[in-house]
Amino acid sequence: MIELADIIAPAVPPLAPLPYGWIALGIGVLILIAFIVLRILWRRGRYRRAALAQLKRAERALRQGHLDARAAAFRAAQALHCVYRASQHGGNAASPQWTEFMCALDRARYAAHAIGKQDATQLLAQTRHWIDRAP
C-alpha cells in the first residue's frame, strides 16, 4: 500500500531566463536620453562660450590699442545678440538694470562722441556679466 510518505515531490521547475533583450533595450533608452540631455546642454553653452571668447579678444585688442572704444561696444553688442538670440529670450526686459545697460551700450555705439577706453572696458565687463546671467 502506498502511503503519503512514499510520494516523491516533483522537482522545482527551473527559473525562466532573464529578459536580456528588455534589459538591453532599457539601458539603450537610458543612454539615448542621457546623450540627448548632454547634447542640449552643450549646445546651449556653445553660444555662451563663443560670446565670452569674442569678448576676451575684444578686451585684449582694446588694451593693446588695436581696437577703438566704439568698435569694442559694437563687439559687445554682437556677443550679446549671439547669446540671447540663441536662447530665444530678449534679455531681462523687466529688469531696470538690463534697460540701463542696453541704453549705455546704445549710447556707446551710436553717440556722436566716442566713449573713453576706461568706459569701454567697464562696458565689456558688464557685457560679460549679462552673458553669464543669460538663460
Domain presence at residue 115: yes
**Residue 113: what pLDDT?**
85
Q: Which amino acid is present at 85? A: R
Distances (CA, A) of 100 to 27, 106, 111, 123: 50, 10, 16, 12
pLDDT digits (tens, 9 = 90+) for 6-45: 778 888 888 888 899 999 999 999 999 999 999 988 887 8
Domain assignment present for 25: no
Q: Answer whether residue 73 is part of any domain.
A: yes
Give the pLDDT confidence score for residue 37 in this predicted structure: 96
**Is 31 inside any structural domain?**
no
103-132 pLDDT, tens digit per residue, is 999 999 998 888 888 999 999 999 999 988
pLDDT in tens, 40-95: 888 878 888 999 999 999 999 999 989 999 999 999 999 998 888 765 555 556 67
Q: pTM higher than 0.85 for the full model?
A: no
Residue 13 lies in a domain: no
Neighbouring C-beta atoms of residue 104, cutoff 10 Å: 16
Cell numbers standing for residue 129: 556679466
Q: For residue 3, what are the contacts with CB-CB under 8 A and spacing of at least 6?
A: none
The answer to the question of residue 127 being in a domain is yes
Domain that holds residue 57: 49-135
Q: Which cell goes with 61?
A: 585688442
Q: Is residue 111 in a domain?
A: yes
The pLDDT of residue 17 is 85
Q: How many domains does the chain have?
A: 1
